[in-house]
Structure 1
Amino acid sequence: MTTPVPDSLVRIIKHMNPAAGISAQALPQCPDISLWLVEPDSMRRRFSQDEILQIQSYPAYWAFCWASGQVLAREILRHPHWIKGKKVMDFGAGSGVVAIACVMAGAREVIACDIDPDALISCEENAALNGVSFRCHGDLFSFDEELDLLIAADVLYDRANLVLLEEFLKCAPDVLIADSRIRDFDYPPYVAQGRHESCTVPDLDELDEFRLVNLYRGQR
């Protein structure tokens, strides 16, 4: 039986493009996880100037599984000892893919954090789709509980966000970052943990350089 698309996601995807649709899509690198994502066909056509401006004003990041998120979710499922028994925050959670992987890997507790309220709706619906549960929170800087690990994927798309690296280590003694944007990354105590090839789902035909995802770990 096909799971109906949640009304909440149908409603909010229209903020990006009234013609856009949502469907459950399995992730090629994490086949055990499916997400409610924007329909590929609705993004594969020529857009009018007005449509482009609307997409730019509301890009609906939560409606895509970005390359960094897919890599981080896959690596967590491959290395559950990173997560097992820990209290983890997925910062900039978007679709919630990494939070879902953390629950599957045996985390003691998972918090999906995103400042976009629509992303938190997406997180809740994607958790339900995968039969898991976690908490949602809207603001890292108002979160005053102790964490064992903070995880963030694809949040360094703007170099101004690099200041977050220091803030993350104030919030948790162990931080795991996945990023495909920053070149010449040199931010001690963060140390490179490997590079992986991936893609965004649906595939946006991004430049090859954005398909290479680097993992970094920082500890205090």
Structure 2
Amino acid sequence: MIDQTPEGRRAFILENTTLQAPPHTPELTLHLADEITPIWRMTEEALETLGLPPPFWAFAWAGGQALARYVLDNPQIVAGKRVIDFASGSGIVGVAAAKAGAAEVLCADIDAFCGAAAHLNAAANGVALKTTEQNLLDRPPPPQAEVILAGDICYEAPLAGQVMDWLTAAKAAGALVLVGDPGRSYFPGERLTKLIEYQVPTTRELEDMEVKKTAVWALP
């Protein structure tokens, strides 16, 4: 059973991952796993809970890598601004925003392991950020958020629609909204404007091909 304190979660992550540079953002170093099934099973066993979602915190997914690359290459997007990394997973996008000069970064994910991973990955890259386990979809977008970054958010149809409505409300309130996505089944491309497309190296552990065409999109 995992010690369900922040320290216990960090210890589990450190024990079951290694420091690696994601292929599309080699200037970043993250605590990542090599195979999804073993760490998925270990997480379920440690938490004594079956049917958990995949450990999104343990991998650099294609959409997150693309969005992090775009932020690192265009630091003016986040420099000096308050940024939310929505559904942050490993925190790769939030770490990239912090390295690019964001005034404040909040990594938001309902999985407590994601918060632990984000803090470890921030420390590994010499930056600081904040985390929250609160479901931001339960309330209007924070008015203080100037930039909202969301990678790989369209795995499930109902959730994808809910997230896009929330992001649209954030855009209407004045935030810049950017989304990284490799063409997931429920991604509503007709609602966004493509900014750039990358060929992101990935793994068949996570995707259906070793190089995934992935784009960064903006809400118009």
Structure 2 distance, partners of 1:213, 1:117, is 27
Q: Deviations over 1:11-53 (max 9, x none)?
A: 268xxxxxx8311111222121110011x26869xx9xx99xx
Deviation of the 1:171 alpha carbon: 2.9
- Aligned partner of 2:162 in structure 1 is 163
Within-5 A mapping of 1:137-216:
137-139=132-134, 140=136, 141-142=138-139, 144-160=142-158, 161-172=160-171, 173-180=175-182, 181-182=184-185, 185-188=188-191, 190-200=192-202, 204=205, 206-208=207-209, 211-216=212-217
Moved more, 98-107 or 24-33: 24-33
Gaps of 5+ in 1: 1-5, 14-19
Aligned 8 A contact 2:23 2:201 in 1: no
Q: Deviations over 1:144-192 (max 9, x none)?
A: 442111110001111221231121132352210011114784443x211
Aligned 8 A contact 1:96 1:123 in 2: yes
- Aligned partner of 1:102 in structure 2 is 97
Number of residue pairs aligned between Structure 1 and Structure 2: 199
Aligned 8 A contact 2:200 2:212 in 1: yes
Aligned 8 A contact 1:169 1:218 in 2: yes
Moved more, 71-80 or 166-175: 166-175
Aligned 8 A contact 1:9 1:22 in 2: no
- Aligned partner of 1:57 in structure 2 is 52
**TM-score under structure 2 length normalisation:** 0.78
Tell whether 2:74 aligns with 1:72: no
Deviation of the 1:119 alpha carbon: 0.8
One-letter amino acid of the structure 2 residue matched with residue 119 of structure 1? C
- Aligned partner of 2:3 in structure 1 is none
Change in 2 beyond 3 A, CA 1:55/1:21: farther
Superposed CA RMSD? 2.9
Aligned 8 A contact 1:66 1:199 in 2: no
Q: Deviations over 1:84-137 (max 9, x none)?
A: 111110001010110000011111111100010111111111111111101111
Change in 2 beyond 3 A, CA 1:9/1:218: same
Q: Determine helix, strand or coil for the equivalent of 1:31.
A: coil
**TM-score under structure 1 length normalisation:** 0.78
